[in-house]
Amino acid sequence: MATQKVMGDIITMRGQITENTNGVELNIFDGRYDTGYRILEFYIAPSDPTASNEIIAKLHTSSTTPSIAIWNWADVQEIAWASWGISTSGSGADFFLLDHDNMVIENLYLSAYNTVEAGGCNYYITLQKYKLDAWDGALNLVTNLSQAGPQ
């Protein structure tokens, strides 16, 4: 059975990306394959919360995603999803979801779609570092690279 030991290190990443961005790299790789990070929180908000923004964003383990405006929960590379300001006439509202089985070994990427031109997307992410068996790290890496197929 795989062993995962919490190392206690919690990292907070926060920043802002421009609208309609595909695959902003959030570098967390420490050069080791026997450590990984689990996403604990993922929040987004527009740079101007008083504007009529509609934003959708996702965290993924590939450098780009096929569509920044579409979520695919069957894609093992997508591991967290969030939305902000989706109108009540639409099919959703503010939303946050994490794949609680996520384990990021190398880098993490953020993509966001914003309906406001030149509208920034703030992000706030917390991650916790884990110590892994070397083979478990390799297995997670294969999953992150989507060679494992749909889960």
149 domain-assigned: no
151 domain-assigned: no
What pLDDT is attached to residue 150? Answer: 46
35 domain-assigned: yes
Confidence of residue 2 (pLDDT cuts 50, 70, 90): low
Q: What residue numbers bound the domain in which 41 lies?
A: 4-144
Domain count, the chain: 1
Q: In sequence order, what are the residues at sequence separation of 6 or more whose Cβ sits closer than 8 angstroms to the Cβ of residue 14?
A: 122, 123, 124, 125
Taking residues 43-66, report their average pLDDT.
90
89 domain-assigned: yes
DSSP tag of 149 = -
DSSP tag of 77 = T
84 domain-assigned: yes
114 vs 137: CA distance, rounded Å: 34
How much is the pTM? 0.84
Chain mean pLDDT for the chain: 84
Neighbours of 121 (CB within 10 A): 28
Q: What is the pLDDT of residues 100-147, one digit of tens each?
A: 989 998 889 999 998 888 788 999 999 999 998 876 656 666 666 664
CATH code of the domain covering residue 78: 2.60.120
